[in-house]
Chains A and B, each alone.
Chain A
Amino acid sequence: MPARVVVLGGGVGGTLVANLLSKRLGRDATVTVVDGSGMHVYQPGFLYVALGQADALWLARDERTLLRKDVELVVENAARVDPTAQVVQLVRGGTIPYDHLVLATGSRIVREQIPGLVAGAHDFYSLDGALRLREALRTFRGGRVVIGVAGIPYKCPPAPVEFTLMVEELLRHKGLRSRSQVTLLSPLNRAFTVEPASKLVQPIMEKRGIELQTFFNVESVDPDKHTVSSLEGETVEYDLAILVPPHRGAKVLEDSGLVDDGGWVPTDRATLQHTAHERIFALGDATDLPISKSGSTAHFEAPIVASRIASLIKGTAPREAYTGRVMCFLETGNGRATALRFDYAHPPTPPTPSRMWHWAKWAFNRAYWITVPQGRIA
């Protein structure tokens, strides 16, 4: 009987693991993806939608079109996972048994955790949010723009810095820059977590007159007074607040008792196995690993998960281990970008921002649909 592999979630990680396993194991396994929406969303595009640089239409595709033919897709929400009985229970009834389970359930946005955030601030962490922000930017006539972070961990650590640089550029192009103040509220004591990247970005911010307020972790928003307060005890005023909302892991995993207090899966940093359940693997945003929550992380973790599950099914010793490899682009505005490439053993040394990296990011965004989910970029 073929081994049964069930993948929860049809994002970057889930889709890629399913395709790699199906390709590798053929008739030795059945691979089933369970996804509530059946749509695959390219989330890095939200930022461009918010800035009016991309149409929302290119961000979503039918998940079925991205999966190999022999991968089964169940478009339904999972209600619970029972690791003892090794079954996934579906919301509308019915169960799917598994021999190996992959948790690729991503993260969800929980704006309501921060008082005043829903009424007082914008974000680009969902398609709806990005469209609302696009409208707010379209009608903005100048004033104090603050960009900050209202929860850790969050997806795509460079995004607030990128957005700050790009929104400043937008205000210049619209002739609103002289009437506007742009401030990045950084959770850390520099603009960006990676110090060499901060050293590249901070002089650019200074040159463009962008203020940097450090150690500012957003705790609350007052939509009436138009103020944002930090857990470090400071308050700033705003006319337009763009704040990264808090994230949590998927509810189905919380309901199944498979996660920590934040909703993240306790995951081994090398094998990507659940620390308490050897038949369960996790990747991408779903894990508790203190590494970037980004599509890139899921992309580089997926081959490891697929390889280790394939070994378990074939009865060979699993050899591949995740080395912490991540690669991401960082737009610095004015048509330039840099790249961050690193792993557990090698910190990033980003190159000077250039047009080449900007175009590399553009090309990657365009080519995503025909490369990443199918495993064509290693």
Chain B
Amino acid sequence: MTTELPAITKSIDARGMACPGPLMSLIGAIRAGAVGEAFEVLSSDAGSRTDIPAWVAKAKHEMVAVVDEQGYARFVVRKAH
């Protein structure tokens, strides 16, 4: 089964970037973005698996997809409010 992904407003390639890191970059993009826009972050950091969905849930945005790629994961989040 393939996941139908929405149009991405901004894609952040945070692979190999420890500081400030994938989640911090995603939060920055969501802060600057408009409601309804979808953002994608590519992360090779294992911690993102828990960090990103945890923040998205806490901040009440929408976790659209987590897609496994070769050596990294692709997280797609929609700004909900």
Residues of A within 8 A of B (CB): 151-153, 157, 187-189, 193-195, 215, 217, 231-233, 260-262, 269, 289-292, 324, 326, 340, 342-345, 347-348
A188 touches B23 (CB 8 A): yes
Q: Decide: A189 and B51 in contact? CB cutoff 8 A.
A: yes
Task: Please indicate the chain B residues that have their CB under 8 angstroms from the CB of A232 in the complex.
Answer: 58-60
Is B54 in contact with chain A by the CB < 8 A criterion? yes
Contact, CB under 8 Å: A189 / B21: no
B19, A340: Cβ atoms closer than 8 Å: yes
Closest to A290 in B: B25
User: Could you write out 15 A-B pairs with CB less than 8 Å apart?
Assistant: A152-B24, A153-B28, A157-B19, A157-B24, A187-B24, A189-B51, A193-B23, A215-B58, A231-B31, A231-B59, A262-B32, A290-B14, A291-B17, A291-B19, A292-B20
User: B18 near A342 (CB under 8 angstroms)?
Assistant: yes
Contacts known (A157-B20, A194-B19); A188 close to B51, Cβ less than 8 A: yes
Contact A193 B59 (CB under 8 A): no
Selected from B18, B25, B58, the residue in CB contact (under 8 A) with A152 is B25
- What are the residues of chain B within 8 A of A187 when measuring CB–CB? 24, 27
A194 neighbours in B (Cβ, 8 Å): 18-19, 21
Residue of A nearest to B15 (CB): A344
Do B31 and A324 touch (CB < 8 A)?
no
Say how far A219's CB is from chain B's closest CB, in angstroms. Answer: 9
How large, as a class, is the contact surface on chain B? 20 to 34
A345 and B55 in contact, given A187-B24, A193-B24 (Cβ under 8 angstroms): no
Q: How far is the CA of A328 from the CA of B7 in the complex (A)?
A: 37
**Overall SS of chain A's interface:** loop
Residue in A closest to B45 when the chains form the complex, CB atoms: A347
Question: B-side interface residues toward A, CB under 8 Å?
Answer: 10, 12-25, 27-28, 31-32, 45, 47, 51, 54-55, 58-60
CA distance A290 to B24 in the complex (A): 9
Cβ A215 vs Cβ B59 within 8 A: yes
**Apart from the given pairs A188-B23, A340-B19, 14 other A-B contacts in the complex at a CB distance below 8 Å:** A152-B31, A157-B19, A188-B21, A193-B18, A193-B19, A193-B21, A215-B55, A231-B31, A232-B60, A290-B17, A290-B20, A291-B19, A344-B15, A347-B45
Q: Are A290 and B13 within 8 A (Cβ)?
A: yes
| Chain B residue, CB-CB nearest to A234 | B58
Chain B min CB distance to A247 (Å): 10
Q: Which residues of A contact B14 (CB under 8 A)?
A: 290
Q: B32 is contacted by which of A261, A340, A344, A345 (Cβ under 8 Å)?
A: A261
Complex contact B12–A290 (CB within 8 A): yes
| Beta-carbon contact of A153 and B18 below 8 Å | no
For the complex formed, measure the closest distance between the CB of A310 and the CB atoms of chain B, giving whole angstroms.
Answer: 26
Contact partner, B18, options A233, A289, A347, Cβ 8 Å: A347
Residues of chain B contacted by A153 (CB below 8 angstroms) = 20, 24-25, 28
